[in-house]
């Protein structure tokens, strides 16, 4: 008999990124674990990409994009894309999910502990797959 699992989360708007003295500035987010989605649009408002990630806590994760270290490949790859998007008049909108749920049966919905990296990665991957299925250009590799 096939197994069935449903993962649910709700994106909450967090605000837009901007530049200050050439550095990325993220909107204020709660100091909790979660999943995030950055939506990149060009100056015409056309969606040019989505990036989905996870972090614990979220503010520390965003600081990695602002100040990428030499071994942080994702931060090093996305930082110049993010800066160029904003310099060229585009926009980067940030949404977060700080709660997620798993259901293995219709009457059994259980909160996922986002303090657990495996739970965060599960939701991150589900969100990435959903974005790809919608046809959106996804920056995740």
Asked whether residue 1 is domain-assigned, the answer is: no
User: Is residue 140, in this structure, part of any structural domain at all?
Assistant: no
- For 17-36, what is each residue's pLDDT tens digit? 999 999 999 999 999 999 99
pLDDT digits over 4-16, tens only? 889 999 999 999 9
* pLDDT > 70 in the chain, percent: 98
Q: Which CATH number fits the domain that encloses residue 72? A: 3.40.1440
Distances (CA, A) of 119 to 9, 11, 18, 19, 81: 12, 16, 30, 32, 28
Does any domain span residue 22?
A: no
Would you say residue 141 has pLDDT above 90? no
Which range marks the domain in which residue 68 is found?
32-133
Q: Please report whether residue 21 resides in a domain.
A: no
The reply to whether 44 falls in a domain is yes
């Amino acid at each position: 008999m096939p197994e069935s699992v449903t993962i649910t989360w709700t994106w909450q708007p967090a605000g837009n990124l901007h530049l200050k003295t050439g550095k990325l500035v993220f909107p204020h987010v709660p100091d909790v674990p979660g999943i995030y989605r950055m939506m990149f649009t060009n100056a015409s408002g056309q969606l040019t990409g989505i990036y989905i990630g996870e972090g614990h806590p979220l503010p520390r994760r965003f600081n990695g994009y602002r100040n990428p270290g030499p071994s942080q490949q994702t931060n090093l790859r996305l930082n110049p894309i993010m800066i160029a998007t904003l310099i060229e008049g585009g926009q980067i909108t940030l949404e977060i999910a700080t709660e997620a749920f798993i259901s293995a049966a219709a009457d059994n919905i259980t909160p996922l502990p986002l303090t657990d990296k495996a739970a965060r990665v599960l939701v991150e991957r589900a969100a990435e797959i959903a974005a790809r299925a919608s046809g959106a250009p996804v920056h995740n590799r």
